[in-house]
Structure 1
Amino acid sequence: MAEIIMVRHGQAQTGAKDEASYDKLSDLGHQQAAWLGEYWADKGAVDRVLSGTMRRQIETGQSIGLHGVSYHQDARLNEMDYFGLAAFLKEHGGVPVPSSQEEFQTHVRDVLGAWSRAEVGDELESYADFRGRILDCVREVAARDDRTVIVSSTGVIATLIAVALDLDMARKTDVFLKIAHTSVHRFEIVGDDVRLIQFCATPHLDAPERVSLRTHI
């Protein structure tokens, strides 16, 4: 049995319309990550930080800033191409790009649903391949002897939760929309089984003066 600790990146560029514009942390995102690093530094319980290769993931890993803890990257932890999926559905399905938080919640359901049904063409990464690379990476991490913190993104974390709880896409989307920036999620890997043991913890943001700084978008 091995424990996996996964963290969503800090707040990125809310309101961006493409991946290049979105893919960097806001000032608050850097602060959220720094506070998490301070929390863990007091516990002394992390040996290694591993992130995807996207800028917001790298910046989160760096801003966590644990002294003496090695930092590494693995592209298998990168987020799905949400903007690419959205563009395909707009062009081929007439699904409009959202302009509000309320519209985004509906849009996520449309995008994830179409993607899981393989209705987004052959040029984008398939949902099956996305899921497979996540599980391959996580199982490799689980086989190590050290305590690794994985920094990734909502789609990656929600997919692992869906595997652990055997969620359909509708329920997975509910989870997707509730994952806060720099929230901590813990899993146990037992053989081929993935088990969720902690969801969306934000101990570094639980002080009264920080509660309002929890973000999702």
Structure 2
Amino acid sequence: MHGAGRMRMTELTLVRHGQANAAAKDPDSYDILSDLGHDQARWLGEYIAPLGQYDRVVSGTLRRQFGTAEGANPTGLPHSTDARLNELDYYGLAHSLRDSHGVPFPDTPEGFAAHVPQVLDVWRSDGMSPDLESYKAFRARITDALHDIAKDGPGALVVTSTGVIATLTAIALGLDTSAKTKMFLTVAHTSMHKFELRRDGLYLTQYGATPHLDTPDRAFARTFV
């Protein structure tokens, strides 16, 4: 039991940012929380504040991540940023896929769902522009960030993005690209995911929880795009 307690000390909670501008065609336009995104963050903060489980907030530096972290922090916990938690460069990867394979950027949710596996497949096969961050480098930076955050103890609420959460989930569960794609498409806005860093690797202990949205009057607010 002593060993099990020690392993729990490395548990971290990762949260996806609130809903952003889904109609955007470029990263700057996308990186803005919608009105619903602000509400989702505030509701998350109202849910977690009475629990007293967190002593600090860590977020990426993207506006949607930082804004979510602020909204979910009504008690003013210390908030630091780490750019290693930023999302993969989906727009850059999509443009590279367009230039190399003639695959257009999607303009519908259905098109996006079909586009994601194409992007991830080519990216993981090192088929994207060499000017872009490689999959190997992305994986290394997010795992390094997680280990560094864990050094300060288990009480961190970590606000990041879909690609980070899906990739860490795939690492923890040993998922192939097809299964990872499903994870990528099923990370709800402001959903909570718990990971444990143990001596023998990364473990997923909770996936996709949205207790702050799981009421009839907020059913509309459980969004993915």
Same fold (TM over 0.5): yes
One-letter code aligned to 1:152: T
After TM superposition, the structure 1 stretch with the greater mean CA deviation from structure 2, 188-197 or 104-113, is: 188-197
Alignment of 1:77-116 (within 5 A): 77-116=85-124
Matches of 2:150 and 2:79, distance apart in 1:
17
Kept in 2: contact 1:48–1:71 (CA 8 A): yes
> What secondary structure is seen at the aligned counterpart in 2 of 1:197?
strand
- 1:68 Cα shift? 3.5
Matches of 2:73 and 2:186, distance apart in 1:
26
- Listed one character per residue, the Cα deviations across residues 98-129 of structure 1 (whole Å, up to 9, x for unaligned) are 11111111100100111010000210000000
Q: Is 1:25 aligned to residue 33 of structure 2?
A: yes
- 1:143 Cα shift? 2.0
2:67 to 46, 59, 68: 59
Q: Is 1:210 aligned to residue 218 of structure 2?
A: yes
1:118 to 123, 126, 146: 126
1:169 to 168, 177, 186: 177
Matches of 1:50 and 1:28, distance apart in 2:
22
Matches of 2:203 and 2:168, distance apart in 1:
9
Matches of 1:87 and 1:149, distance apart in 2:
33
**How many residues of Structure 1 are paired with residues of Structure 2 in the alignment?**
217
Kept in 1: contact 2:12–2:154 (CA 8 A): no
> What secondary structure is seen at the aligned counterpart in 1 of 2:91?
helix
After TM superposition, the structure 1 stretch with the greater mean CA deviation from structure 2, 3-12 or 136-145, is: 136-145
Q: Is 1:75 aligned to residue 78 of structure 2?
A: no
- 1:183 Cα shift? 0.1
> Post-superposition, which runs of at least 4 consecutive aligned residues in structure 1 deviate over 6 A?
none
Match of 1:139 in 2: 147
Kept in 2: contact 1:5–1:185 (CA 8 A): yes
Matches of 1:84 and 1:192, distance apart in 2:
34
1:12 to 7, 20, 32: 20
Matches of 1:6 and 1:216, distance apart in 2:
16
Matches of 1:142 and 1:80, distance apart in 2:
22
What residue ranges of structure 2 are gaps of 5+ in the alignment?
Answer: 1-6
Instruction: Mark the CA change 1:119 to 1:207 in structure 2 (over 3 Å): closer, same or farther.
Output: same
- Listed one character per residue, the Cα deviations across residues 35-85 of structure 1 (whole Å, up to 9, x for unaligned) are 000001121211000001111100101111231410000000000000000
Matches of 2:157 and 2:201, distance apart in 1:
19
> What secondary structure is seen at the aligned counterpart in 1 of 2:206?
strand
Kept in 2: contact 1:7–1:182 (CA 8 A): yes
Matches of 1:44 and 1:208, distance apart in 2:
26
Kept in 2: contact 1:48–1:146 (CA 8 A): no
Matches of 1:15 and 1:192, distance apart in 2:
42
Q: TM-score, normalised by structure 1?
A: 0.98
Q: CA RMSD in A?
A: 0.9
Matches of 1:146 and 1:205, distance apart in 2:
24
- Listed one character per residue, the Cα deviations across residues 156-185 of structure 1 (whole Å, up to 9, x for unaligned) are 000100010001111000111000000000
> What secondary structure is seen at the aligned counterpart in 1 of 2:216?
coil
